[in-house]
Chain A
Amino acid sequence: MSAIKKHLDTLSRLAVLIVMFVLLVLVSPSFGTLTNILNVLRVSSLTLIIATGIALCMLVSGIDLSPGATIALTSILFGRYFQMGHSTGEMVFGIAGILAVSAVIGAANGFCVAKLSLPPFLATYGIQQIVRGLAYLLTNGLVYSGFTEQFKFIGGGSILGIHTPIIFAAILLIIVGFLLNKTTLGRRIYAVGSNRESARYSGINVTGTLMMSYILSGLIAGFAGIVYTSRLNCAEPTIGAEFAQQAIAAAAIGGISFKGGHGNVFGIIIGALMLTLITNGMTLLGIDSDWQVGATGVIIILAVLIDRNTAKKKV
């Protein structure tokens, strides 16, 4: 009983998601096919991965606007440097290198927020500009393409019929879910996000916790970059422009509070799925793509409003 109450928030969101799904199936039976469901999951998975990282920053009452740029830089780095040879060893080395670079980007965000006390929005906006600028500089005006089959498998393959990005997203969510619920780092993240001053009085390393959240978000963005580059099978400095926005919307719809300290991984999943269902549903309904963009905005605002009103009623 108390378990239900505790998750009321998440459950009510899940209910909305299910209702959306059922409505879509009723309107367009092709929606319910396994192929389409897998497609929805595949499309959601990248947003989901990025949203998970950003959510870690939102939980410490911050934000991370840089993932899109990190993805672009990642893809250029891979295209230009790390695919040099074509051996498995080199690919693994390349991936490790990219994760290291993205961790550094995360650390730069964290440094600006935690050590220099800059507002997270501005700090990560600045960093994302720098990172994207780097991507342009390193591109040399070329588009890189033609990766190895092995590399293409990372983002474009499937295991037992399930697309690899879905599998990666699932593994990541399990890891982050564990981190948030079952580790002291998770406790610190919620504590800092909920009340920074009381966290400091409790002897929690506030600076370290903030740094850690941003580094993890950076790492996750770098990982998303690898998956995305592999799926696109090409590297360009312009990619990923809307990723951060989309992921933030997914996290927010899923109940990760901008004030920090509130929300969980289930919420992120539900948020990302809702976002995809909206676009996917409109396509299936044959709505003109020019109309879709604006309609998505309207639906997002409605979703947040409904959510806020149900949250209020609980008091």
Chain B
Amino acid sequence: MSDVILELRNICKEFPGVKALDNVSFDLRKGEVHVLLGENGAGKSTLMKVLTGVYHPNSGEIVLHGNKVSFQTPRDAQLARIAIIFQEFNLAPNLTVAQNIFLGREPKARSGLIDRAKMVRDAQEILDFLKVKIDPNAKVETLGVAHQQLVEVAKALSIDSEILIMDEPTATLSENEISALFDTIRNLQKRGVSIIYISHRMQELKVIGNRITVLRDGQTVGTCEASEVTLDELIRMMVGREISKVRTRTENTAREETALEVSHLSQGNKLKDVSIRVQRGEIVGLAGLVGSGRTELAQAVYGITRRDSGDISICGEPIQNPTPIKCIQRRMGFISEDRKECGLALNLPIRVNVTHAGLKSIFPGGIVDVRRERKLAEDYRAKLRIVTPDVERNVVNLSGGNQQKVVLAKWLSTDSAFLVFDEPTRGIDVGAKEEIHNLIRDLAVNGVGILMISSDLPEILTLSDRIYVMREGRIVHEIEQVTSETTQEEIIAYATGGAEQ
């Protein structure tokens, strides 16, 4: 078990104004799952990009099977049997699932042309292996974020690799998919594949990891055996300070006014007769498996998609044909789970992104007060601990978790009375997660109605006053009052349909 197949020695990588990696060393043994842990912006993704030839290190060396290597492009790394699932997806949206999985490596028929049938069959096989129900012929752009994530996983699995890197593969997945993914990982391990695993879901680490290396501010803090360390110790290693206390659920601050009322909403086979209600000042959790219709429900309310039937009213006002503009006029906001496509203007500075959702309310005269804009951005940078040398940086240069914080800042700076959070803490580290939870609670205390979609059950349980569970497009269960007795199992049972048998 302990033969080292890969070693990273004294890697340094600088970006303008940021020392992302400072003398980092790391080794990987055959057949192990090596977890890479660290706060947002600690340098995890950068280290993996250096390893796979996306970035070139300023100094340091990579030793694979005892030989010094230097990959110029990710393609070179692939040839050396290293596969990576990037945190920010790399899929071609208008190609099909199967085409994406085999992009650049399409199976060829004897004629030399692409063997489509075989490609689809092989894709189906991998998807079955992962226990996901995705049509290999579906276009990737039609898939939700979680399914896109699974296509990325399938793509990496289709490469016969010796080292597999997974950068936050579970950030949007729910229990079912995660356990299928873990089964897959264990299978690969048995076949001698080594895995580098990055995740902010602390409870996973000890379940799947053999060893854990912690990074902080671009430096290695240490490596330990997963069985010999407690979560608290890990958190202390990665944060280097006390993280704010988990505030217990304060009193339910629900008020008389209704923030959202949806009755008998249906849409194709995605939503079936859905009725829900959110009061102002209340946090309502929306739980369910991936594909159960949670995001689709929010999108129908927000006017991203058209519903077939049913009534929607936002902050007491019925709304016939919702559009994002009309919803925002009624003081609703929707924080999408898909930050890259729907949440951020990646090539614009943080400062500018922060005011995008509130342009009308922050600058009612139509003239932008740049100083005020910068102040707002700086406030959120401090409040959410966005790691960046300054707010003039383009968002694309931030780490994944820090990008997520910018999406949150954009909506927190509006004066919304009803907010839908779709996977609000996707890719956010433990410390910042607590702070974001506190911010969400503060919003509720101030009378904002909150509908929170999350695959992270502990998050749903700690934050929600009330919980709806969805399955296959229906609301199958409502937990009217969340207490300390409410369990994840109760939610899972309804989400998977186990409760009805």
Using CB atoms and an 8 Å cutoff, list the residues of chain A in contact with chain B: 2, 5-6, 181-188, 190-191, 194-195, 197-205, 261-262, 314-315
**Inter-chain contacts of B410 with A (CB < 8 A):** 202
Q: List 26 A-B contacts (CB under 8 A).
A: A2-B389, A2-B390, A181-B370, A182-B367, A182-B368, A182-B370, A183-B367, A184-B366, A184-B367, A184-B368, A187-B355, A187-B356, A190-B345, A190-B352, A191-B345, A191-B356, A194-B345, A195-B341, A195-B346, A201-B304, A201-B336, A203-B324, A204-B356, A204-B359, A205-B325, A315-B15
Judge whether B363 is part of the interface by a CB distance below 8 angstroms: yes
B390 proximity list for chain A (CB < 8 A)? 2
Q: Within the assembled complex, what's the spacing in Å between the Cα atoms of A191 and B343?
A: 11
In contact, B359 and A187 (Cβ under 8 angstroms)? yes
**B328 interface residue (CB < 8 Å to A):** yes
B308 at the interface (CB under 8 A from A): no
CA distance A109 to B368 in the complex (A): 28
Beta-carbon contacts under 8 Å, B317-362 to A: 324-325, 327-328, 334, 336, 341-348, 352, 355-357, 359-360
A2 vs B328: C-alpha distance in the bound complex, in angstroms? 34
User: How far apart sit A292 and B327, CA to CA, in the bound complex (Å)?
Assistant: 57
| In contact, A198 and B344 (Cβ under 8 angstroms) | yes
Contact yes or no, B16 A190, CB < 8 A: no
State in angstroms the CA–CA spacing of A46 and B55 once bound together.
43
CA distance A187 to B359 in the complex (A): 8
Contact A194 B355 (CB under 8 A): no
Q: Mark B355-392, 1 if CB is under 8 A from A, else 0.
A: 11101100100111010000000000000000001101
Q: Check B17 for interface membership: any CB of A closer than 8 A.
A: yes
A197 touching B325, Cβ below 8 Å? no
Counting residue pairs across A and B whose Cβ atoms lie within 8 Å, the total is 83
Quick check: B370 and A199 within 8 Å, CB to CB? Answer: no
Tell whether, in the assembled complex, residue A194 and residue B325 are in contact, meaning their CB atoms are under 8 Å apart: no
- Indicate if the CB atoms of A203 and B328 lie closer than 8 Å: yes
Q: Do the beta carbons of B347 and A184 come within 8 Å of each other? A: no
Residues of B within 8 A of A187 (CB): 352, 355-356, 359, 368
Q: Given the known inter-chain contacts A5-B17, A191-B356, please indicate yes or no for A203 contacting B327, CB distance below 8 A.
A: yes
| Cα separation A201 to B337 with both chains bound (whole Å) | 12
**Please, which residues of chain B bring their CB within 8 A of the CB of A197?**
341-342
A-contact bits for B282-319, CB 8 A (1 contact / 0 none): 00000000000000000000101000000000000000
Chain B residues contacting A203 (CB-CB under 8 Å) are: 324-325, 327-328, 357, 360
- Knowing A5-B17, A197-B342 are in contact, say whether A184-B348 is a contact too (CB < 8 A): no
> Min CB distance, A218 to chain B, in Å?
21
Distance of A259 from chain B, by nearest CB (Å):
8
Q: How large is the interface on B (under 10, 10 to 19, 20 to 34, 35 or more residues)?
A: 35 or more
B420 to chain A, nearest CB (A): 11
The answer to whether B359 and A190 have CB atoms under 8 Å apart is no
Which of A184, A202, A204, A314 is within 8 Å of B363, CB to CB? Answer: A184
Known: A186-B368, A191-B348, A205-B325. A314 touches B359 (CB 8 A): no
- Cα A245 to Cα B325 in complex, Å, equals 36
Partner of B343, one of A182, A194, A201, A262: A201
Do the beta carbons of A201 and B334 come within 8 Å of each other?
yes
Q: A183-B368, A187-B356, A202-B410 are in contact. Are A194 and B346 (CB under 8 A)?
A: yes
Chain B residues near A188 (CB-CB < 8 A): 359
Q: Which of A185, A190, A200, A314 contacts B348 (CB 8 A)?
A: A190
Q: How far is the CA of A122 from the CA of B363 in the complex (A)?
A: 36
Residue numbers in A under 8 Å from B367 (CB-CB): 182-184
The reply to whether B324 and A198 contact each other, CB–CB distance below 8 Å, is no
B315 to chain A, nearest CB (A): 15
Contact assessment for A195 and B344 in the assembled complex, using a CB-CB cutoff below 8 Å = yes
In the assembled complex, the Cα of A314 lies from the Cα of B370 at a distance in Å of 26
Q: Is the CB of B346 within 8 A of A202?
A: no
- Known pairs A5-B16, A182-B368, A198-B342. 16 more at Cβ < 8 A? A5-B392, A6-B392, A183-B368, A184-B359, A184-B360, A184-B368, A194-B345, A195-B346, A197-B342, A198-B341, A202-B324, A203-B327, A204-B356, A261-B345, A261-B348, A262-B347
- Complex: how many Å from CA A314 to CA B18? 13
Give A195 to B410 CA distance when docked, in angstroms.
15
Q: Which residues from chain B contact A200 at a C-beta distance below 8 Å?
A: 324
Residue of chain B at shortest CB distance from A314: B16
CB distance from B225 to the nearest CB of A (A): 37
Chain B, 33-76, CB within 8 A of any chain A CB: 55
Q: Check A201 against B324 for contact (C-beta < 8 Å).
A: yes
With most chain B CB atoms within 10 A of its CB, the pick from A186, A194, A203 is A203
**Cβ contacts under 8 Å, B392 to chain A:** 2, 5-6
Among residues of A, the one whose C-beta sits closest to the C-beta of B56 is A315
CA distance A190 to B348 in the complex (A): 8
Contacting pair A198 B359 (CB below 8 A): no
> How far, in Å, is B411 (CB) from chain A's closest CB?
9
Q: Which of A182, A197, A201, A314: most chain B CB closer than 10 A?
A: A201
Chain B residue, CB-CB nearest to A190: B348
